[in-house]
Structure 1
Amino acid sequence: MTVTAQTPLVPDLAALHQRAAQRAAERAGGQDRLRGHIVCDGLVRIFKTEGVEVVALQGLDLVIDRGELVAIVGASGSGKSTLLNILSGLDTPTAGIARVADYDLLSLSAKRRLSYRRELVGFVWQQTGRNLLPYLTALENVELPMQLAGKRGGKARRERARELLDMVGVGYCADRRPGQLSGGEQQRVAVAVAVANDPEVLFADEPTGELDEATGAEVFAALRTINAELGVTIVVVTHDHAVATQVRRTVAIRDGRTASEVRRTARVDAEGNTELVSEEYAVLDRNGRMQLPAAFVDALSLKERVRLDLEPDHVQVRPGDRASDEREARA
């Protein structure tokens, strides 16, 4: 499926993506290290409660390159939050491969897991109250992670904190405590806190979930700026489709597996107009399996089995029920 739309966002999206890739290459020390910053292969997570097993992830595959800003979407219970908890080091997978940079998340010791969460990744929670200490100012909240990590002297920490607050558009909030900030301002300060120690990856769990559309757009603009200016790889779990359309790549999860991807590119037509072109793909796993979009299944009333025909340049999928077989025989 291809959808085109002309919008003022397009040049910014393309320019920011290009700048983010450049910054990521600088951080990585060269283009050869850009691929596969986050890799999941056959990832499984099973929860056991009172003798009942719940399979949250059922062999999920995912590759995110260094410097990408990716939105992960899915219905409640699809496994997207479980995936984020694993990648952020808050949970341990049951089986498969989960790797972020040089960290194997299945075999981390307690000490190395602490190092991973303190140095390599940052995190922004949905609940604004979980991201900031209420008795510290915005500036002090941003300084705190650097102080705990023993990074920079006092003056350098303060300068860096002010720089980050300015970068996310809330420099004017430096001397205010969280109770004096709006929800959107709190979340933008939280983004600055999350990248205070210059992590390679930033995870955000529904960062606009408690905000209205306009305020959510401001928070997401802050994430895009951080991605472009610092080259940080950013993974956002969201149900907000308005947010998901502002990234170059959206990954949909269904029933614990990656189901589809939407990739967006900026193209210039013959008349010189810039268009944002969106293309949706079904995800094919290493065993050749894919999930058909639910809308397609419903439209054709597909059940139990389907007919596959190999054509020279495509695969044809048709209903395989008895009624369709009888109609084909009469034809």
Structure 2
Amino acid sequence: MTVTADTAGVPDLATLQRRAAQRAAERAGGQDRLRGHIVCDGLVRIFKTEGIEVVALQGLDLVIDRGELVAIVGASGSGKSTLLNILSGLDTPTAGIARVAEYDLLSLSNRKRLSYRREVVGFVWQQTGRNLLPYLTAVENVELPMRLAGRGGGSRARRERARELLDLVGVGYCADRRPGQMSGGEQQRCAVAVAVANDPEVLFADEPTGELDEATGAEVFAALRTINAELGVTIVVVTHDHAVAGQVRRTVGIRDGRTATEVRRTARLDADGNTELVSEEYAVLDRTGRMQLPVAFVDALSLRDRVRLNLEPDHVEVRPGADGRQERGSAK
């Protein structure tokens, strides 16, 4: 699968990725601090209700580098929203390791958790009404986090920064409008500006285009890409929209509370000298050697209960186990 970059004066995805990495390095103070901005190792989250335990995350592993823009996809109930709530400081994991920007999310005190949520991370909700206060204008909404945190200098400096951020996400013309005077897409782009008002290291977005049509959703995602490229903010987007997920260099698929797949897109030049993105999908192998076979593979070969593994010089062969039926094929 290849995706040709837009040549109508808009930076292609590879260019935006390089710019984001450069800005992230500047924020981090050097290349040696780029890796492992978000780390999950054996992450477990168990919910208990009326004596019933529900395991939402079952030993999830994930590493996201500083400056990356990553989409996390998965079916309803796969654990992706639980993961986002833990990483954003809204929930506490049951066991394992969850670290964001050197903050250990399992051991944060209430005071440090509040500081983490106010200064280190930003958040954009799916519901547009949750992101903005209806009685404030767009510029006042962006100023508010800076005022609450005592950041941004004086009132004039905060106002200037708020207007700059609104311009950056393409809604500077909405500065003096209240949310009720804006479209859903304009509200979400304002919400992105609010989320980065305090210059967080990481921005989390939970289905930010879920209530928008395709064209409007593309505008919101373009705003996220711009923030990533211009400010070097690490961005994690949870989405079910595969069209949105296809606009990032890395998409992580979650299934049954574990990371199951990754799609990585690398840039290369085609025969005409144009930049194109080549997509490759991988199964994720955790540190104990476990991986999840794609459901389509399992169904196609009627794999059940147990399988045969054969080690070949350059691959591992997976065949249906002996159960009295004739073997129908193999997955390599």
How far off is 1:271 after superposition? Answer: 4.0
Alignment root-mean-square deviation, CA: 1.4
Contact kept? 2:301, 2:328, Cα under 8 Å: no
Give yes or no for the alignment of 1:105 onto 2:131: no
Contact kept? 2:320, 2:327, Cα under 8 Å: no
How far off is 1:322 after superposition? Answer: 1.8
Aligned partner of 1:68 in structure 2 is 68
Aligned partner of 2:202 in structure 1 is 201
How far off is 1:319 after superposition? Answer: 1.2
Aligned mates of 2:270, 2:139 — CA distance in 1: 46
Moved more, 77-86 or 313-322: 313-322
* Within-5 A mapping of 1:24-39: 24-39=24-39
More helix by share: 1
Aligned mates of 1:293, 1:205 — CA distance in 2: 25
Contact kept? 1:11, 1:266, Cα under 8 Å: no
Contact kept? 1:165, 1:192, Cα under 8 Å: yes
Aligned mates of 1:130, 1:189 — CA distance in 2: 12
Give yes or no for the alignment of 1:187 onto 2:188: yes
How far off is 1:256 after superposition? Answer: 0.2
* Within-5 A mapping of 1:108-257: 108-151=108-151, 152-257=153-258
Aligned mates of 1:169, 1:250 — CA distance in 2: 25
How far off is 1:318 after superposition? Answer: 1.2
The superposition leaves residues 174-218 of structure 1 with CA deviations (integer Å, 9 ceiling, x where unpaired) of: 000000000000000000000000000000000000000000000
Aligned mates of 2:77, 2:208 — CA distance in 1: 18
Aligned mates of 2:3, 2:105 — CA distance in 1: 40
Contact kept? 1:267, 1:274, Cα under 8 Å: yes
How far off is 1:312 after superposition? Answer: 0.7
Structure 2 unmatched ranges of 5 or more:
none
| Aligned-partner residue type, residue 186 of structure 1 | Q
| Aligned-partner residue type, residue 216 of structure 1 | G
Identity %: 87
Aligned partner of 2:59 in structure 1 is 59
Aligned mates of 1:246, 1:327 — CA distance in 2: 37
Aligned mates of 2:29, 2:326 — CA distance in 1: 59
Where does structure 1 differ by over 3 angstroms across 4 or more consecutive aligned residues?
323-328
Aligned partner of 2:6 in structure 1 is 8
Distance of aligned partners of 1:5 and 1:323 in 2 relative to their CA distance in 1, 3 Å threshold: farther
Aligned mates of 1:135, 1:31 — CA distance in 2: 43
Aligned mates of 1:285, 1:326 — CA distance in 2: 28
SS of the equivalent of 2:12 reads helix
Structure 1 unmatched ranges of 5 or more:
none
Aligned partner of 1:283 in structure 2 is 284
Distance of aligned partners of 1:68 and 1:327 in 2 relative to their CA distance in 1, 3 Å threshold: closer
Contact kept? 1:121, 1:201, Cα under 8 Å: yes
The superposition leaves residues 238-264 of structure 1 with CA deviations (integer Å, 9 ceiling, x where unpaired) of: 000110000000000000000000000
Aligned partner of 1:307 in structure 2 is 308
Contact kept? 1:11, 1:274, Cα under 8 Å: no
How far off is 1:306 after superposition? Answer: 1.0
* Within-5 A mapping of 1:313-328: 313-324=314-325
SS of the equivalent of 1:143 reads helix
Contact kept? 1:73, 1:80, Cα under 8 Å: yes
Distance of aligned partners of 1:321 and 1:213 in 2 relative to their CA distance in 1, 3 Å threshold: farther
* Within-5 A mapping of 1:255-270: 255-270=256-271
The superposition leaves residues 86-108 of structure 1 with CA deviations (integer Å, 9 ceiling, x where unpaired) of: 00000000000000011000000
Aligned mates of 1:60, 1:153 — CA distance in 2: 44
How far off is 1:301 after superposition? Answer: 1.2
How far off is 1:73 after superposition? Answer: 0.3
Aligned mates of 2:311, 2:318 — CA distance in 1: 9
How far off is 1:321 after superposition? Answer: 3.8
Contact kept? 2:5, 2:12, Cα under 8 Å: no
| Aligned-partner residue type, residue 6 of structure 1 | T
Distance of aligned partners of 1:143 and 1:327 in 2 relative to their CA distance in 1, 3 Å threshold: closer
| Length, aligned pairs only | 326
Contact kept? 1:203, 1:235, Cα under 8 Å: yes
Aligned partner of 1:50 in structure 2 is 50
How far off is 1:323 after superposition? Answer: 3.8
How far off is 1:268 after superposition? Answer: 1.0
SS of the equivalent of 1:144 reads helix
Give the TM-score of the pair, scaled to structure 2. Answer: 0.96
Aligned mates of 1:138, 1:16 — CA distance in 2: 27
| Aligned-partner residue type, residue 147 of structure 1 | R
Aligned partner of 1:77 in structure 2 is 77
SS of the equivalent of 1:322 reads coil
| Aligned-partner residue type, residue 162 of structure 1 | R
